Amino acid sequence: MLNRAELEIMREIYERETGMLDLKEKYEAYKKLDTPRNFEKMKRECVLDDYLKFMEDCENFFENDALIVEDVSEYKIEARIELPKPSAALEKFKNKFNKFFN
């Protein structure tokens, strides 16, 4: 049986892994917008820079995710992972096109 500290570690790991899986799904959804035609639309809506930054942040995160080191001594996870997030404007732009990707 796990004690409270071990359960807390398990919760932290579960939340981190779930967040990373959700980010991978979100990345794949946004990746569908990666076409010259959509770049023009994003440029007109002033979200192209947001898109490029979000995609680059995700790629860097996935590339470096194996390098994340946690200090689990004394049942405490010291490192906190900040997952990339799209801007509200970019999310609004993508939501307009959801019907084409479902």
Of residues 53, 50, 59, 49, the one with CA closest to residue 27: 59
Between 25 and 81, the more confident residue is 25
In this structure, what are the phi and psi dihedrals at residue 81, rounded to the nearest 5 degrees?
-100, 125
The CA-based dihedral angle spanning residues 40, 42, 45, 49, taken in that order and rounded to the nearest 10 degrees: -120
- pLDDT (average), residues 82-95: 91
Q: How many CB atoms lie within 10 A of CB 12?
A: 16
Q: What phi-psi label fits residue 8: left (phi over 0), alpha (psi between -120 and 50 degrees) or beta? A: alpha
Global pTM reads 0.73
Taking 70 as the threshold, does the pLDDT of residue 64 lie above it?
Answer: yes
Taking 50 as the threshold, does the pLDDT of residue 89 lie above it?
Answer: yes
Average pLDDT, the chain: 82
Taking 90 as the threshold, does the pLDDT of residue 77 lie above it?
Answer: no
